[in-house]
């Protein structure tokens, strides 16, 4: 029986474009002008890792002080758009189905504890799935250690573990952990892009995954 | 010698994510809740076509009055973010290079004349390239007639015409016109997604295209 480790932002709650907007605004405000698609392709990475990746791409170092300023602007712009966040189609149903079928799962997110708890509240579950946030992990995606720790929390064996995420970073980290990776299109990556990163299956959204759990080794 | 027909939004000016935000806000405000990635995948279509495509996907008809309301909210939310728009890397240089080399090109956009002229002003050219806007075209992308008209304006032969765009819609319309289509990653589609739609070449941005014009039949 498989066990699942879920990403949160863009996988269970529709928050990717709000993050794109908030990061792009932060970079523009501090004078870093570059196209928004570049930051879209980095969503899923935690703040400091995302900032380093952009700095590398711009070939322009960003020191710790500027990095902290960028994170602060991102946080306030993201908070200002919080009321536009919605659970993704089928996210609640998928987690309730797994829970009632006794399938183990955990949630591993690059967001901080406060933001993650707000997103979980939107899912309106009557139980608390095991969760790791940025603050619980020494290393961040695409390092696989967070997903590995998330699998350990629920006693999943490596050969049973399936990571579910919306970004190339999730799928790459899953592979580095020797887990299977399932990609969802809800992060705005294309199907081919997730498949090329090594996704075992790609679904449109949690609703489609919920309807096709048999493909992932769950009997009906 | 090739002739080029350029899309504008997302191809020469970085405006795709502002459009995603404005459309998603409009739909949410009128009670249509769906994930933002769905509207991202429709950017490049003109307003009424985009709204029809979303209605089809939601399986929920949207009448003309609601459609006009959605367009009005999109217009005001987009206008509110206009100051964040920037020319894409290399866009100005690419058009100046083509112009000074005597290579013919036109611009064909699903945006209205007013918005299109504001975007062109950001490119700061000292000449006015031939341009068709939404208001000049009876049919919109993915119908190929706009691009065909854009080629006709500059006297380009079919076998010489290359459409340059950032969306799958541009590449599909190019193929329907029997033109070649060049895809740019600046719209947030993945390379594989543009290639799967039939792009002849995919470049990161106008700057990369400008550096590789030899691949498109222009001698150095």
Where are the strands (E) in B23-166, listed by range?
86-87, 105-108, 131-132, 161-165
Interatomic CA distance for residues A161 and A151, integer angstroms? 7
Quick one: pLDDT at residue A189? 95
Quick one: pLDDT at residue A153? 97
Average pLDDT of B16-25?
98
Two tokens, residue B70? 């959605």
pLDDT tens digits, one per residue of A127-171: 999 999 998 999 988 899 999 999 999 999 888 999 999 999 999
| Interface with B, mutate which of A82, A183, A188 (most B CBs under 10 A) | A188
Chain B residue with the nearest C-alpha to that of A40: B188
Please provide the average confidence, as pLDDT, over all residues in chain B.
96
Interatomic CA distance for residues A53 and A110, integer angstroms? 15
**B37 closest CB neighbour out of A35, A37, A188:** A188
Quick one: pLDDT at residue A219? 82
Interatomic CA distance for residues B178 and B121, integer angstroms? 31
Two tokens, residue A210? 């919920």
A:B CB pairs within 8 Å: 76
Residues of B with CB under 8 A from a CB of A: 14, 16-17, 20-21, 24-25, 28, 33-37, 40-41, 84, 86, 88-89, 185-193, 195-196, 205
**B193 closest CB neighbour out of A14, A33, A193:** A193
* Of A35, A9, A14, A10, residue with least CA distance to A24: A35
Please check the confidence at residue B220 and state whether its pLDDT lies above 80. Answer: no
B5 forms beta bridges with B106, B163
Q: HEC string of A16-53?
A: HHHHHHHHHHHHHHCCCCCCHHHHHCCECECHHHHHHH
User: Is-cis flag, bond preceding B142, omega within 30?
Assistant: yes
Quick one: pLDDT at residue B89? 98
How far, in Å, are A26, B45, B158, B198, B202 from residue B191 at the CA level? Answer: 27, 20, 25, 11, 6
Quick one: pLDDT at residue B31? 96
Interatomic CA distance for residues B34 and A2, integer angstroms? 29
Please count the other Cβ atoms lying within 10 Å of the Cβ belonging to residue B16.
24
b/e map A113-131, b = 16+ CB within 10 Å: eebbeebbebbeeeeebeb
Quick one: pLDDT at residue B202? 98
Tell me B173's DSSP state: H
Give phi and psi for A161, each to the nearest 5: -90, 130
Quick one: pLDDT at residue B159? 84
Interatomic CA distance for residues B88 and B203, integer angstroms? 13
Chain B residue with the nearest C-alpha to that of A206: B35
Chain A residue with the nearest C-alpha to that of B41: A188
Chain A residue numbers touching B86 (CB-CB < 8 A): 33, 35
Quick one: pLDDT at residue A159? 84
pLDDT tens digits, one per residue of A53-72: 999 999 999 999 999 999 99
Interatomic CA distance for residues A124 and A152, integer angstroms? 25
How far, in Å, are A171, A185, A197 from residue A174 at the CA level? Answer: 5, 17, 10
Quick one: pLDDT at residue B67? 98
Chain B residue with the nearest C-alpha to that of A188: B37
Two tokens, residue A105? 């799962």
Please check the confidence at residue A220 and state whether its pLDDT lies above 80. Answer: no
Quick one: pLDDT at residue B158? 82
Chain B residue numbers touching A40 (CB-CB < 8 A): 17, 188
pLDDT tens digits, one per residue of B89-102: 999 999 999 999 99
Confidence of residue B6 (pLDDT cuts 50, 70, 90): very high
Interatomic CA distance for residues A177 and A162, integer angstroms? 10
Quick one: pLDDT at residue B176? 96
pLDDT tens digits, one per residue of A34-57: 999 999 999 999 899 999 999 999
Let me know: does A158 contact A151? Beta carbons within 8 Å. yes
> Nearest CA of chain B to the CA of A157: how many Å?
33
Within 8 A by CB and 6+ apart from A186, the residues are A10, A11, A14, A16, A88, A166, A204, A205, A206, B35, B37
How far, in Å, are A33, B58, B64, B205 from residue B118 at the CA level? Answer: 19, 33, 27, 21
Quick one: pLDDT at residue B144? 96
pLDDT tens digits, one per residue of A75-114: 999 999 999 999 999 999 999 999 999 999 999 999 999 9
Please check the confidence at residue B132 and state whether its pLDDT lies above 80. Answer: yes
> Nearest CA of chain A to the CA of B173: how many Å?
19
**B186 closest CB neighbour out of A37, A84, A89:** A37
* Of A39, A85, A19, residue with least CA distance to B24: A85
How far, in Å, are A18, A132, A161, B94, B172 from residue A109 at the CA level? Answer: 16, 6, 16, 41, 37
Confidence of residue A178 (pLDDT cuts 50, 70, 90): very high
| Interface with B, mutate which of A20, A27, A29, A36 (most B CBs under 10 A) | A36
Taking an 8 Å cut-off on Cβ atoms, the answer to whether A192 and B190 are in contact is yes
Average pLDDT of B189-204?
96
Please check the confidence at residue A8 and state whether its pLDDT lies above 90. Answer: yes
Taking an 8 Å cut-off on Cβ atoms, the answer to whether A17 and B16 are in contact is no
Interatomic CA distance for residues B192 and B18, integer angstroms? 24
Distance of CA A53 to the CA centre of its chain: 17
Confidence of residue B165 (pLDDT cuts 50, 70, 90): very high
- For A211-215, the CB contacts below 8 A with 24+ separation are A211/A90, A213/A97
Please count the other Cβ atoms lying within 10 Å of the Cβ belonging to residue A181.
27
Interatomic CA distance for residues B64 and B86, integer angstroms? 33
């Amino acid at each position: 029986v498989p066990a699942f480790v879920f990403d949160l932002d863009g996988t269970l709650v529709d928050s990717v474009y709000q993050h794109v907007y908030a990061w792009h605004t932060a970079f523009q405000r501090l004078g870093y002008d570059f196209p928004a698609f570049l930051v879209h392709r980095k969503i899923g990475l935690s703040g400091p890792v995302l900032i380093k990746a952009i700095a590398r791409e711009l070939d322009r170092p960003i020191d710790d002080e500027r990095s902290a300023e960028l994170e602060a602007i991102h946080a306030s712009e993201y908070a200002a758009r919080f009321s536009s966040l919605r659970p993704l189609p089928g996210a609640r149903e998928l987690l309730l189905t797994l829970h009632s079928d006794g399938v183990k799962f955990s949630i591993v997110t690059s967001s901080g504890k406060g933001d993650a708890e707000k997103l979980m509240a939107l899912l309106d579950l009557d139980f608390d799935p095991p969760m790791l946030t940025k603050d619980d992990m020494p290393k961040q995606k695409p390092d696989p250690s967070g997903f590995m720790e998330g699998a350990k929390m629920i006693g999943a064996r490596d050969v049973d573990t399936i990571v579910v995420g919306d970004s190339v970073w999730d799928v790459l980290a899953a592979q580095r952990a020797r887990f299977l990776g399932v990609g969802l299109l809800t992060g705005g990556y294309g199907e081919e892009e997730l498949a090329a990163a090594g996704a075992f299956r790609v679904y449109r959204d949690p609703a489609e995954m919920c309807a096709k759990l048999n493909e992932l080794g769950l009997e009906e």
